[in-house]
Structure 1
Amino acid sequence: MPAFSLEPEQQAWCTELRTLAAERLRPVAEKGEPGRVDRALLAELGRSGLLERLFASGALDLCLMRESLAHGCTEAETALALQGLGAHPVHAHGTPAQRARWLPAVADGSAVAAFALSERAAGSDAAALTLRADPDPGAAGGAGRGWRLTGEKCWISNAPEADFYTVFARTTPGAGSRGITAFLVPAGRPGLTGSALEMLSPHPIGALAFDGVPVTADDVLGETDRGFRVAMGTLNLFRPSVGAFAVGMAQAALEATLAHTARRDAFGGKLSDLPTVAHQVAEMALRTEAARLMVYAAATAYDAGAPGVPRRAAMAKLLATETAQYVVDTAVQLHGARALRRGHLLEHLYREVRAPRIYEGASEVQRGIIAKELYAETPPPTGEAP
């Protein structure tokens, strides 16, 4: 399929998702408590079949879901995305027992998943994480092999209310990214506690403390000391869809601005009659469409197993999140003070749009990934520089 075009059935599905977001999910989300996991919203997403589709879809379908839901209900988009992010390592690397225990409950919205990678001193530099997995010779399960997790995680979405966590811990000291293991840790494990963090956006985010939390080989996702691959594989899938989330917000802001400037009286005519305003709106539309196309291209490359996926994913996330920040900010400027009033769509989007430029790799990290991949793809010089 060409990266720049959607099939008619895909376009129709996006229209259905927008309607679902506006008519079914938005009313549920409005009853939720900001900063808390909305289990009623998750249950509604489960009934809609979208959570189950997380595990049957490719990257492009994931992007279409996130973009379409974000257009009408950012809370529903985020709830769906966090379920996918936390549970994808179980889907992709879990044992049959792990998958059977957790994935059906994630799909129907009855179990809340979380992806626990970031730490206070290891956010953008994920390979520098310090949560320790110390050997536990007395472990009973997992063929007699076990560990005790000691340390902290921070900025974890859905914490501390999640039912299980995909936790990344250091099993081999001094080995960098090669000494990290991914563990599936149920919330009820002894020694695991957490606290909520109050953030700019209304998402559930918290910190986790591990005080000798027991895990065994039965809890490992993938292979011991190969957890960094689990983390990066998950992020390569979800980074383009973070861009899709951003595109959905940008599109909502653009449409609100078109409507507002076309009806707002100003200087003897409509606001849209002013060339400076019309040109700003055109720029908003141009950047939004360019970001959308890059997101679709990155997702299509992922689904096709094409080369350069990390670079494409980083480009898509970078361009789309920076674009959404620009578009929403410009929309607020063109709306004036009314856009700053609590409860206005743009006031909501203004708080929502800032975080995606940081999480799952800040914009600076994405530029680093792009540069690293470009130089890796460049043949070494064969002679003297001119």
Structure 2
Amino acid sequence: MIDEKSIAEFFAELVSIDSPSLEEREMADTLKAKFAEIDVLFTEDHTQEQTGSNAGNLFVRIPGSLEGAPILLAAHMDTVEPAKGKKAVFHEDGTVTSDGTTILGADDLAGVTAIYESVRHLNETKTPHRPIEILISTGEELYCKGANAFDYSQVQAKEAYVLDLSGAIGAAAYAAPTLVSFQAEIQGKAAHAGFHPEEGINSIQAAACAIAKLPQGYVAENTTANIGKIGGGSGTNIVSESCRIEGEIRSLNHEKAMELLETYHKTFQQEAEKVQASLVWKEKRNIHAYETPLTSDAAKHYESAVKKEGLTAAFEKTFGGSDNNVFAQHGIEGLVIATSMNQVHSCAEYTRIPEIAQVARILVHLATEK
């Protein structure tokens, strides 16, 4: 049986380890040791130079005794801040929180725990299962740094389950957006604002004109845009010489995201040129949109596994990214499944041990699907 006491102990141990993004060394070492105790031997890659982490991604392939294509189970070992000195506080109703001064780290240690418990159960009970591959990545919270650097020639699975979603158990995201970030730096000319303003070129004015012309918020049903940071100038009596604007665009349609990004670029360029200022433009595609067909093996098998747990699968689109965005670019069809992580990226984050057990049982059902 899936053991809730084992789950609670394993989860609490992981929570006690500091593993903010790019500082995953102790977590990686702990996971290799804990999984080795159940005869699962991870290989750690050498992607540190690419990611900037002090640890690599962990990967293992577990042979199966059932016919059927392999499945990939995935989670990430890093957490957002504030993450130093975390501890799990258990409550009588099965809820687990932090002490309120840090995040808990259920994102994504609840996912790691569910994977561990499901594999422990399969191994100890000698239950026949399909081949299983496990990838636990670094730097996921920094736009999937570890997953982007991973060598996918190692992966045989074309069906993935990424344990990294908030929501009721049984929910699964089958589509996620392209997310691009941009930075526009307008360079004008400083002058004394009281005596010779006509000699200056006001970069803030050019930026304001551009921003006023650009759509923000929901610009279409599946597309958002946001300018989140702006700064510039050196004094109230000086015509602003430079101004920097930063923002992001998200869309479930990759082409729409790139078209809107080009509109932003052109608008800032035009407004800078109108006042004879210059523009330095930077952009970065952080993740690429995907949509996994609901007719895929991943969706069909997940629906069946959730039903065996007495639940109903709820398929949804999400505006958040995950390692599944990267997997899709390598021909792997996957879902991001709900994993008992709630109010993530905040000090109010919580999980529930019985729900992690449910997720572990769903993973067992997936592994034993014929």
TM range (shorter): under 0.3
Greater relative CO, 1 or 2 (CA 8 Å, sep 6+): 2
Q: TM-score, normalised by structure 1?
A: 0.27
Q: Which has the higher helix share?
A: 1
Q: TM-score, normalised by structure 2?
A: 0.28
